[in-house]
Amino acid sequence: MPIFEFVCTECEETFEDLVLSQSKIDEVVCPTCGGSKVKKKMSTFASKPAAGSASFSLNTASPSHSCGTGSV
């Protein structure tokens, strides 16, 4: 069950709401003003690596290696 982030276009309040299905997004109302003109925001998330796991880096490939060829 995803939690979505919304912004009310009437009072500009940002809030989160648990939406049980995609079809229910149209039924979300602002908890501050009760307005039904809300927009779903693009949200990000953060995660923490499990204890004892190695850190992850997006830049792990050396520039001298060719992609997919198996040769240097």
Q: Which tens digit of pLDDT belongs to each residue from 39-49?
A: 999 867 667 77
pLDDT higher at 47 or 3: 3
pLDDT value for 53: 60
Provide DSSP, 8-65: ETTT--EEEEE-SSGGGGGG---TTT--S-EEE--------PPTTPPP--S--S-TTS
- The answer as to whether 27 is a domain residue is yes
Domain assignment of residue 50, yes or no? no
Determine the pLDDT at residue 11. 97
Judge whether 36 lies within some domain.
Answer: yes
Is 57 within a domain? no
Give residue 25's domain range. Answer: 3-40
The better pLDDT of the pair 50, 55 is held by 50
Q: According to the model, what pLDDT value does residue 21 have?
A: 86
Q: What is the mean pLDDT of the chain?
A: 79
Full-model pTM: 0.57
Task: Tell me if 31 is assigned to some domain.
Answer: yes
How many domains is the chain built from?
1
Would 18 be classed as within a structural domain? Answer: yes
Report if residue 8 sits inside a domain: yes
13 domain residue, yes or no: yes
